[in-house]
Homo-oligomer: A and B are copies of this chain.
Amino acid sequence: MRTGDGRRIGINEVATRDGLQMEPRFVETDDKVALVDALSTLGYAKIEVTSFTSAQAIPALRDAEAVMQRIRRAPGVVYTALVPNVRGGERALECRTDEFNLVMSASETHNLANLRMTREQSFRQLREVIALAGRAGVPSNVSLSCVFGCPMEGEVPIEGVLGWIARFADAGAQGITLCDTTGMAYPTQVQALCAAALQRHPGLQLTAHFHDTRAMGLVNTIAAVEAGIVQLDMSLGGIGGCPYAPGASGNVATEDVVHMLECLGYCTGMALDGLIAAAGQLERLVGHALPAQVSRAGARLKRHAPPPDFEAIRERALARVAAAAGPVRR
């Protein structure tokens, strides 16, 4: 494991889309806007604000237009949103979405189960969305699900994943996110896929997206960064579960990843105190504890006071030393 030597890592926040979409309690539009506005001050490269899916499909994000129109945009931050199809793309363009995030699975079974299309059908649909975005001068990123394994198929061969990356690059996608949708990735596998994708597509913006379902989210993050990935998805508070592992945590938590990267000497440009405060804000909005650790424990050098009777403890201990030494030897 190597030090970061100040290498810059871009941090993408997905809590407001990938996290909130699964929450049973509807977060009011005002609160969503206030949360995004708070996040905008913290140093993110990208914030995935919402999803232009149908209100029936994801009721938690039925206020996509309102949120996207009302947020205060900070210079330098890319405000992205999930776009499932051409209709969603038109809605996203009307709201001045900076980037489209498209989703498809590298696993045929997962794509059918999740999106009700074959991968070929998804690809053709997304190619139209990429073209629509391109005509408006808006870049598209494709989040490829299950690239490190499928909960139904098992292993997903690396060559198949690389094939989809190449097809989307040819179709005009500016970025690809390698998503470990259900937490099946492990570090050496992560390194192999990230290194191969970077090597074959030097012009593509590659992002890694890990889940902590099997406790390897941060380990895989380091593996990706050591392989050359400089853009990472993460979710404030670790919000966003995994339907295939009830009770297990989902997305890696922004405050945990940022804290680790800074310890290792990478430069995230993020304000950890502000992140912890925003995680508290998010926790109040969703109404339950979030799985992130650093929000609870604080940064590693956070000081705690000694016990209230510490001086008395020390005096008694030192008195025992004096008694043991005896009067003569003093």
Contacts and interface: CB of A to CB of B under 8 A. Distances in A.
Interface in A96-136: 109, 112-113, 116-118, 120-121
A56 to B, nearest CB: 17
Given A1-B188, A109-B306, A247 B296 contact: yes
A246 B297 CA distance: 7
A263 B118 contact: no
Contacts of A112: 306, 310, 313-314, 317
Contacts of A293: 183, 212-215, 245, 248-249
Contact of A1 (B149, B151, B223): B223
A154 interface: yes
Interface in A19-59: none
A209 B216 CA distance: 18
Given A120-B321, A223-B1, A249-B293, A263 B216 contact: yes
Given A121-B320, A187-B264, A215-B253, A297 B248 contact: yes
Contact of A260 (B219, B244, B264, B305): B219
Contacts of A304: 151-152, 244
A226 interface: yes
Interface residues of A, number: 72
A186 interface: yes
Contacts of A320: 117, 121
Which of A184, A297, A314, A316 is the most central at the interface, judged by chain B CB atoms within 10 Å of its CB?
A297
Contacts of A152: 303-306
Nearest 8 pairs of A and B residues by beta carbon: A245-B297, A186-B263, A215-B256, A215-B293, A151-B304, A184-B300, A248-B297, A248-B296
12 contacts: A1-B1, A112-B314, A113-B313, A118-B317, A118-B318, A149-B301, A155-B301, A183-B297, A186-B264, A219-B219, A246-B296, A249-B293
Interface of A: 1-3, 109, 112-113, 116-118, 120-121, 149, 151-152, 154-155, 183-189, 191, 212-216, 218-219, 222-223, 226, 242, 244-249, 253, 256, 259-260, 263-265, 289, 292-294, 296-307, 310, 313-314, 316-318, 320-321
